[in-house]
Amino acid sequence: MGEKHLPTSIVILLTVVYVIIFLTGMLGNVSTCIVVMRNSYMHTATNYYLFSLAISDVVSLLLALPPELYSIWEAYPWRFGEPFCIIKSFVLEMTSYASVLTITAFTIERYFAICHPILSQKFSDLSRVLKIILLIWVIACLCALPYPLHSRQFYYLYHPNTNEPLKDSLSCSILPVWLKGMSYMFQVSTFVFFVAPMTIITVMYILIGMALRRSEVLTMKDSKLNTTSAPASKARRAVLRMLVAVVVAFFLCWAPFHTQRLMTVYVQPQDWTEQLLNIQTHIFYLSGVLYFFSSTVNPILYNLMSRKYRHAFKRTLCRCCFGSNQLGDINFFKTRFSTERSTTAYTSLRTSSKERLKISSPDGDKAAVSKL
């Protein structure tokens, strides 16, 4: 069963990392929920997806991180009882599936918002978005059900002479008798909730990046947009950096998690060596840290890098602390005005100049700018 305790220095280091992840993740995701709920102009399709993602991250941090942290201090025995063992197995899988599906849906929505803004207006109805989010959570729950159904509290080892269970070997995991059948579920979940979403996200953001690059050429050719080419170019570079960061963060946060699972599936019991066990142990702890780190990095990548979100956050903070939203309103509308002037530089490649002006108008801003 491996070492019961890690070296003290590693335990303390991992504990500090997990505490930082918990505090920053809770602060970022709870702030996202409050900002979206308390500002009516933040009630857009994009922000509904971000709200759902924040809820998933909060549930994961509250219910899955504490037992994970405890296992660093004491790997075994399991001390939280069978009901919580089943709940933990379900929450871990359900929240991870919901997060991945939400990020994928959000990426597709962003692709249409930036590359096909006119078409996206027809599909950005909030009731439709709510139905998609509900469907995402239903799918996540159904796909996660095999794990709590096959996870139990059990004794891993028995005394060779008396056949009595060794109390220190009490574990919370998938029963060995079911492990072979569940190995197929591991492979399916890796493909459906990592390989396929990673491919979709990468392709979507490559298309968005190509669209933004092409729009820069159109901006330079259009004499009407020459006065705004500098801020528009700066905005494009910021968006491109964010797109790269999103893809890299998604891969780094989820690749170790699925790698250590696939090692369990494909490495046969007789093939495990001391070197492979050490590698698997390091990947196990690394995947745990990155798994929960994704809950912290999500609000940073998808919210804090948005100027509109930052000003909504300031407005909400002023309202809570000073009982007034005047400063927030001034900052928001100043930002909105400056954003309107540069939005047409990368909103759509297929719209005419007349349509661009329409998108840049206050009416068009709600449909196009809010999605960026």
Q: What is the pLDDT of residues 232-259, one digit of tens each?
A: 666 666 666 777 788 888 899 999 988 8
Instruction: Tell me the three-class secondary structure of the chain, residue by residue.
Output: CCCCCCCHHHHHHHHHHHHHHHHHHHHHHHHHHHHHHHCHHHCCHHHHHHHHHHHHHHHHHHHCHHHHHHHHHCCCCCCCHHHHHHHHHHHHHHHHHHHHHHHHHHHHHHHHHHHCHHHHHHHCCHHHHHHHHHHHHHHHHHHHCHHHHHEEEEECCECCCCCCECHHHEEEEECHHHHHHHHHHHHHHHHHHHHHHHHHHHHHHHHHHHHHHHHHHHHHHCHHHHHHHHHHHHHHHHHHHHHHHHHHHHHHHHHHHHHHHHHHHHCCHHHCCHHHHHHHHHHHHHHHHHHHHHHHHHHHHHHHCCHHHHHHHHHHHHHHHHCCCHHHHHHHHHHHHHHHHHHCCCCCCCCCHHHHHHHHCHHHHHHHHHHC
Give me Rg for the CA atoms of the chain.
24
> 1 in a domain, yes or no?
no
- Whether 160 is covered by a domain: the verdict is no
Determine the pLDDT at residue 55.
94
In a domain, 2, yes or no: no
* CA distances, 215 to each of 128, 241, 293, 346, 350 (Å): 30, 16, 34, 5, 10
Residue 324 domain-assigned? yes
Q: Is residue 3 part of a domain?
A: no
Number of domains in the chain: 1
Q: Residue 158 pairs with which residues in a beta bridge?
A: 165
pLDDT at 200: 93
Q: Are 274 and 314 in contact (CB under 8 A)?
A: no
Considering the domain boundaries, does residue 102 fall inside one?
yes
Distance in angstroms (rounded) separating the CA atoms of residues 112 and 208:
9
pLDDT tens track of the chain, all 372 residues? 777 777 888 899 999 999 999 999 999 899 889 988 888 888 888 889 889 999 999 999 999 899 889 888 888 889 889 999 999 999 999 999 999 999 999 888 888 888 887 777 766 678 888 999 999 999 999 999 999 999 989 898 888 888 888 888 888 988 888 888 888 888 899 999 999 999 999 999 888 888 877 776 666 555 454 555 556 666 666 666 777 788 888 899 999 988 888 888 788 777 788 888 888 888 888 888 999 999 898 888 876 667 777 777 777 777 766 655 444 444 443 444 343 333 333 333 344 444 444 434 434 333 333 334
Which residue segment(s) compose the domain that 291 sits in? Answer: 8-155+167-371
Q: Supply the pLDDT for residue 372.
A: 42
CA 254 to CA 17: how far, in whole Å? 18
pLDDT (0 to 100) of residue 138:
96
Q: Residue 239: CB partners within 8 Å, gap ≥ 6?
A: 208, 212, 346, 372
The answer to whether 211 and 349 have CB atoms below 8 angstroms apart is yes
Give domain status of residue 23, yes or no: yes
CATH of residue 197's domain is 1.20.1070.10
For 44, phi then psi, to 5°, come to -120, 170
In this prediction, residue 198 carries a pLDDT of 92
Are the CB atoms for 148 and 90 separated by under 8 Å?
Answer: yes
Tell me, what's the pLDDT at 30?
92
**Tell me: the pLDDT tens digits for 174-215?**
888 888 888 888 889 999 999 999 999 999 988 888 887 777
Q: Quote the CA–CA distance of 299 and 14 in Å, as a whole number.
A: 22
Peptide bond into 77 cis (omega under 30): yes
Give the C-alpha separation, 29 to 297, whole Å.
10
Arithmetic mean of pLDDT over the chain: 78
Report the half-sphere exposure of 36 (CA within 13 A, side-chain side): 24
CB 191 within 8 A of CB 174: no
Residue 162 lies in a domain: no
